[in-house]
Amino acid sequence: MKTYKDYLDGKGPNRIAREREEEGVPNWNGKAKWYESSIRKMLSNEKYKGDALLQKTYTVDFLTKKRVQNTGQIPRYYVEESHPAIIPKGMWETVQLEMERRRAFAEKYEIVKVDYAMIDNPFAGRVICGHCGSPFGRKVWNSTDETLRRKIWRCNKKYTNKGEKSCGNKHIDDRTLYQAFIDIFYAILENKEHFINKWRQQGGDDLLQKYKIEQFTELFREAILLSKFDIDLYFKLIEKMTVVNGEKNNCDFVGWHRS
Ligand SMILES: [Zn+2]
């Protein structure tokens, strides 16, 4: 269950696997060893979907095929401890939609490592060039002077043919990106009722969008005051940040399909 929630909170399978190891959670083998691939399998395995295991309804009349809710008339499937924990069907389906969203996102922007953003590298695969549509990559500008050492993000197509300049977009300092997120967060927080109403009105039947609307509503209702960049909020909210002329130009939220 936690793995499903973590995934919907924007974490990648790689990061989830590492966290399970740190927590010492045993795998099917009894060892606290987790791989990205085992997390991926867990997220897409139908066995985890509630309806597959629990006999929630049963047939009372085999001629009319009438089914009623099972409230104890027949035994429900007994789930042994060795079996995987059951994930509510809606949540399982939402995770499949989020997987599909990430896959389509990676394909659209030709991102090889879409799910690999870690705590120390939150912008990987989430900063997109507003000029040519390529993802931005991180570069460290070294200097013998510590105070001049900088991490910058620039378009992956800035230099293509043998160092020849290609995309004309300017680079952006990672401190600007951290600050941009804080600014966006405050802009929404200040007008949260407006945004919550807008999300609610525009929300359709999409399970992922519904989940994110609920999550965002809860997040902003709690009205947390940020003093610094909050990594968990960032992963929950942000699908991508677009950079034009070396400045943050736009910001898109997870699960928010805009026309
Ligand atoms: Zn570019």
Domain range list for the chain: 2-107, 118-253
Residues, CB-to-ion distance under 5 Å, ligand 1: 129, 131-132, 134, 155, 157, 167, 169
Q: Residue 164 Cα, ligand 1 centroid: separation in angstroms?
A: 14
pLDDT for the residue 22? 93
Residue 44: CA count within 13 A, CB half-sphere: 10
Q: Residue 159 Cα, ligand 1 centroid: separation in angstroms?
A: 9
Q: What share of the chain is helix, strand, coil (3-state, %, to 5)?
A: 40, 15, 40
How distant is the alpha carbon of residue 207 from its chain centre? 14
Q: Give me Rg for the CA atoms of the chain.
A: 22
Tell me which amino acid residue 80 is.
E
Q: Residue 132 Cα, ligand 1 centroid: separation in angstroms?
A: 4
Q: Residue 134 Cα, ligand 1 centroid: separation in angstroms?
A: 5
Q: Which residue has the tokens 């924007």?
A: 10
Q: Residue 25 Cα, ligand 1 centroid: separation in angstroms?
A: 42
Question: pLDDT in tens for each of the 259 residues of the chain?
Answer: 899 999 999 999 999 999 999 999 888 788 889 999 999 999 998 888 866 555 556 666 766 777 777 666 665 554 444 456 688 889 999 999 999 999 999 999 998 877 777 778 899 999 999 999 999 999 988 878 777 788 999 999 988 777 677 899 999 999 999 999 999 998 999 998 998 898 888 777 889 999 999 999 888 887 677 778 888 899 999 999 999 998 988 889 887 754 3
pLDDT for the residue 81? 41
pLDDT tens-digit series, residues 81-114: 445 668 888 999 999 999 999 999 999 999 887 7
Q: Residue 166 Cα, ligand 1 centroid: separation in angstroms?
A: 8
The span from the first CA to the last CA of the chain, in angstroms, equals: 33
Q: Residue 106 Cα, ligand 1 centroid: separation in angstroms?
A: 16
Q: Residue 170 Cα, ligand 1 centroid: separation in angstroms?
A: 9
Q: Residue 127 Cα, ligand 1 centroid: separation in angstroms?
A: 11
Burial class (CB in 10 A: 0-12, 13-18, 19+), 225: exposed
Phi then psi dihedrals of residue 215, to 5 deg: -65, -45
Strand partners, 172: 153
Phi then psi dihedrals of residue 198, to 5 deg: -65, -45
Q: Residue 136 Cα, ligand 1 centroid: separation in angstroms?
A: 8
Q: Which pTM value belongs to this model?
A: 0.81
Does residue 49 contact residue 89 with C-beta atoms inside 8 Å?
yes
d(C-alpha 49, C-alpha 84), whole Å: 10
| 3 state SS of 57 | strand
d(C-alpha 155, C-alpha 168), whole Å: 9
pLDDT tens-digit series, residues 130-169: 999 999 999 988 878 777 788 999 999 988 777 677 899 9
